[in-house]
A = this chain, B = another copy of it.
């Protein structure tokens, strides 16, 4: 089998000895393709079974193996790629995906249309991290959210996104909200001479996703926020392929079940930094270490690396840590995470005694100089 017609997935799984590991690797290779015991596979179909590499030991009871699959098995379909990658083995205890290479199927994936360079160009910001905050809370009217947006823009924030919980609720319907927020931000931009980017949340059933994205663009949005694990992962690709020509920021809602378990699911760096990137995200939000979520500092650094490292022809994308980031700490996070980062600040802005504008100004100063 030549790599010209294959793709590969790296799995980590439970095994005690090298022969246990080889057995499990063979089981996975069967499960994800012909889904039959080897003895029931006629010789002519054996070519479609995945081909495991040598197994390597990761720890006392964990081994790894890369399985190479023929592209024919996934056909021409991103969803079938996902199925071969992790369909049935997602239900086996202790199996985790720790890497993948789309190989000859790379052209199935649109990849990021903007990436780090594209977003920097839109924001007019080089040589420093970018800042981002979320409009909240659900329940606020479009006027109230627009006022916050205007204040954040005056304060100098680079990107304003909707909270991922803002959809099309009656308190601030999508179209009204986007209109009001764009107007408020443009008014502030006139004062400051800056170009603040606004990313409304377009997460909706995919039947409506592209029309909602087009509506957002026609109303003046600068980018789009989507929660791919809620829409279905291929919605991200649909958006990236659509020619909408706006950067996409992806939110991790509903994705924790894949990414927080040490011994199952998909490594967070691979899931956010490779899978979502291949599918078309230009920036991926993830819960920062030390906040109210699950990841260790090492996992966060791995996510950052995966977002920025060479990966086929896919542009590097912005890791966007959120949680536990405020004016005081952002300097330290800059040192740890580097300039090619979007720092997402949330609750602390909303609690500043001197109000949103001042809070954002102080944060932005720290992002630029801190």
Chain B residues in 8 Å Cβ range of A346? 35-36
Q: Are B260 and A264 in contact (CB under 8 A)?
A: yes
Q: Are A205 and B83 in contact (CB under 8 A)?
A: no
Q: Are A254 and B207 in contact (CB under 8 A)?
A: no
Interface string of A14-45 (1 = CB under 8 A from B): 00000000000001000111111101110011
Interface string of A299-325 (1 = CB under 8 A from B): 000000000000000000000000000
Chain B residues in 8 Å Cβ range of A256? 89-92, 264
Chain B residues in 8 Å Cβ range of A238? 205, 207
The verdict on A167 contacting B294 (CB below 8 Å), with A136-B35, A257-B90 known, is: no
Q: Are B227 and A83 in contact (CB under 8 A)?
A: yes
Chain B residues in 8 Å Cβ range of A31? 292
Interface residue count for A (Cβ, 8 Å)? 84
Q: Are B204 and A260 in contact (CB under 8 A)?
A: no
Within 8 A of B (CB), among A77-121: 77-80, 82-84, 86-93
One of B36, B47, B88 near A350 (C-beta < 8 A) = B36
The verdict on A73 contacting B232 (CB below 8 Å), with A207-B238, A238-B205, A258-B257 known, is: no
Q: Are A347 and B40 in contact (CB under 8 A)?
A: yes
Chain B residues in 8 Å Cβ range of A129? none
- Bound-complex Cα distance A170 to B72 (A): 7
Cβ of A186 within 8 Å of any chain B Cβ, yes or no, is no
Residue of B nearest to A31 (CB): B292
Q: Are A255 and B91 in contact (CB under 8 A)?
A: yes
- Bound-complex Cα distance A165 to B34 (A): 8
- Bound-complex Cα distance A351 to B79 (A): 30
Q: Among the listed stretches A137-145, A191-199, A216-224, A329-337, which one makes contact with chain B, having 4 or more residues with CB under 8 Å of it?
A: A137-145
Q: Can you name 10 A-B pairs with beta carbons within 8 Å? A: A44-B139, A45-B139, A87-B164, A87-B165, A90-B255, A90-B256, A92-B293, A93-B293, A232-B232, A260-B264
